[in-house]
Amino acid sequence: MIKEIVKDNFILSQVCQDATKEDLYIVDDLLDTIKFHQTHCVGMAANMIGYLKNIIVVENQNGYLILINPVIEKETGTYQCEESCLSHTGTKQTQRYHKIKVSYLDVQFKKRIKTFERFTAQIIQHEIDHCKGILI
């Protein structure tokens, strides 16, 4: 189901709880909603659509990558960039890592560890910040 984008800073500033298998229905709502906004959205966290769960979806090559309970295990190099977000108006300056190593669960709840670079790493960092209640 396509959900409305949350713009309330009180909700967005809350730390998300880790997701369980019972929360997998949220993935469908995330995918429906990001696809609806695909012309101007490359990543989305569950709290952006009203679920305080640690689930993110990011555009990745020819599809979408779902990361459940993602944790950045290692980061390399930093740079300054400007980001926008569906939950906020305008853009903001922020600092990101060039390369990150992330552990997460896939939709079968199998643990994965993968290294991401460049723009994909930036998107993942932005969405993980959402799950931590960090407003960008």
Indicate which residues carry an active-site annotation: 127
Distances (CA, A) of 85 to 27, 42, 75, 93, 136: 19, 10, 23, 12, 8
Rounded to whole angstroms, the Cα distance separating 107 from 93 reads 32
Rounded to whole angstroms, the Cα distance separating 79 from 83 reads 12
